[in-house]
Amino acid sequence: MAGGRGSRMDFVEKPLIRIGNETMLERVANALSGADLDALVAVSEYTPKTAEKAREMGLRVVGTPGDGYIPDCQFLLDRFNLDSALVVSADLPFISPKLIREVIEEYNQIRKPLCVAISEREYTSMGFTPSITIRDNNEVLVPVGINVMERKEKENHIHIISGRGAININTIKELERVKCQ
């Protein structure tokens, strides 16, 4: 998913932000490739430069309405007539092929929509502020932007992870923090 407005980042296209020598889009695409998956980059009218960069990288690009994460995911499931899909946000600078494989493995075992999250306590201890939280068994969790979505509504299964792989960039302050790591 690479079609967000970037409103908390002064409307900069987040997937094009460089962390080290790579853009976040390149980092996510490389992690997917390392997990033997092809990226389909979902963009919107808010991310024309991201669409251009993705095409330059040889990635397949598809437009979405830009209505938000979940509505755009559902749009893609419907458009491609998919029962399920791995959805990864393009603002995960430390995502790894290993994490992607773990998520797919867990989904293949449980066959339920899956949301990857980190404990709010750990997330905030790393200096990040969650933009959204969810509750699971009385624990407050932060979704990280990796999901297996299904067209049919079912209860989400929560896959809890820890560490840097769970960091997504939502604000300029968080970007500065990541660039210092």
Residues 162-177 have pLDDT tens digits of 666 677 777 767 777 7
Query: Domains of the chain by range and CATH?
Result: 7-179 (3.90.550.10)
Residues 49-58: contacts with CB within 8 Å, 24+ apart?
Answer: 49/13, 49/16, 50/2, 50/3, 50/13, 50/15, 50/16, 50/25, 50/90, 53/15, 53/16, 53/23, 53/25, 54/2, 54/25, 54/29, 57/25, 57/26, 57/29
Average pLDDT score, the chain: 86
The whole-number average pLDDT for the span 113-127 is: 88
